[in-house]
Amino acid sequence: MKFVDEATIEVIAGKGGNGAASFRREKFIPKGGPDGGDGGRGGSIYAIADRNINTLIDFRYARLHRAKNGENGRGSDQYGAAGPDITLKVPVGTVIYDADTGEQLVDFERHGQKFTLAAGGKGGMGNLHFKSSTNRAPRQFTYGEEGQQRRLRLELKVLADVGLLGLPNAGKSTLISKVSNARPKIADYPFTTLHPNLGVVRTSPSRSFVIADIPGLIEGASEGAGLGHLFLRHLSRTRVLLHIIDVSSPDPDFDAIEQAAIDARAIIEELRRYDSTLYEKPRWLVLNKLDMVEDPERAKARLCELLDWKGPVFGISAMTGEGTQELIWALQDWLDAEKQRENIEQDKLEGIHVEDDPRFDPARLTPQESASDTPSKD
């Protein structure tokens, strides 16, 4: 199925039914009085997050969603039936904006989260409500209200723990295919990846994380060059970014490390221009294709020196799988520590003293150290 991460739709809620102006007319019951019922409420339109959906493709073919109107009130104190509601299922990670104002309406972050896109109109009142001691035969009634009408823009940001970024042909698709269950297209030409790929990396029966691969970035991506800028938003929900750098060169006279440093600076600059929040995310360097380098340790040290890089750095060969196990175990430990830290902060906000919990492990709160050391496989 084609991955679709943007759609524009129109939602029109139902109009409320009109109230009725009616009087009771039965044999042998003179002066029966008013008995006009209220109109029914118009149908509303809701959106609900569903983890079983991973694309917005349904909304590419169904752009107009209109709920039915409520029924009019009738005599004999009969109220009109409400119009049936419509519930639209969207993937978890969908952000909905008002297409006319640009206002963000909702960000679906969890399964089952529900939001009202367009509220149905309220039904009108029948003349039953207007009777009084001085107005015994009211002919007043009210009309039903119009339902809300909106143009909406749906934008999907995939939920992943780890995001891959780098130039085209840096080896991102090969890496995600080696360490996860994803099976992206792999070829020896640029822009093989045309849409994001998600994969689950399972390090044990009870531990796993999700990794996302987006099309390769090129210089000027933040201004619309290439394909990667279309999918940079998918990295905004990730916890850590893996910057994949190709350090190989088929030409022995070509300084591949110096060129890799130039390319890395260009990618980092594109992140800064696109979104400062994305630029400030934790980022690890992953030097790929080290099996084609004569002295891998020297290449790693020189690249870190050229970039003045003090953060975590890993050397791998995505093709042969060399170094990938150490990388994914370091990621798993780092993610576990981050999640524990977030849970502790949440517990503190709720007034829970987590230090008294026997499950509390302060050693897990050093993600930077666990990233640089070789983790133990428990």
DSSP 218-271: -TTGGGT-TTGGGTGGGGTT-SEEEEEEE---S-TTS-HHHHHHHHHHHHHHHH
Average pLDDT for 222-250: 69
Q: Max Cα separation, the chain? A: 111
Identify whether the C-beta of residue 27 lies closer than 8 Å to the C-beta of residue 116: no
Of 370, 291, 278, nearest to 328 by C-alpha is 370
Specify the range with the lowest mean pLDDT, choosing from 147-156, 171-180, 181-190.
181-190
Does position 299 have pLDDT exceeding 70, yes or no?
yes
Average pLDDT for 43-56: 88
- pTM for this predicted structure: 0.64
Instruction: State pLDDT tens for residues 275-286.
Output: 788 888 888 988
Does position 221 have pLDDT exceeding 70, yes or no?
no
Identify whether the C-beta of residue 122 lies closer than 8 Å to the C-beta of residue 70: no
Q: Where in the chain is the domain with CATH 2.70.210.12?
A: 1-156
Q: Where in the chain is the domain with CATH 3.40.50.300?
A: 162-372
**How long, in residues, is the chain?**
378
Give residue 86's pLDDT band: very low, low, confident or very high (50, 70, 90).
very high
The residues facing 12 across adjacent strands are: 66, 149
Q: Give the contacts of 50 (CB within 8 A, at least 6 positions apart).
A: 89, 90, 91, 92, 111
Query: 162-372: CATH homologous superfamily?
Result: P-loop containing nucleotide triphosphate hydrolases (3.40.50.300)
The domain defined by 1-156 carries CATH number 3.40.50.2000: no
**Percent of residues, the chain, with pLDDT higher than 90:** 22
Residue 310 is classified by DSSP as -
- Report the chain's mean pLDDT, rounded to a whole number: 79
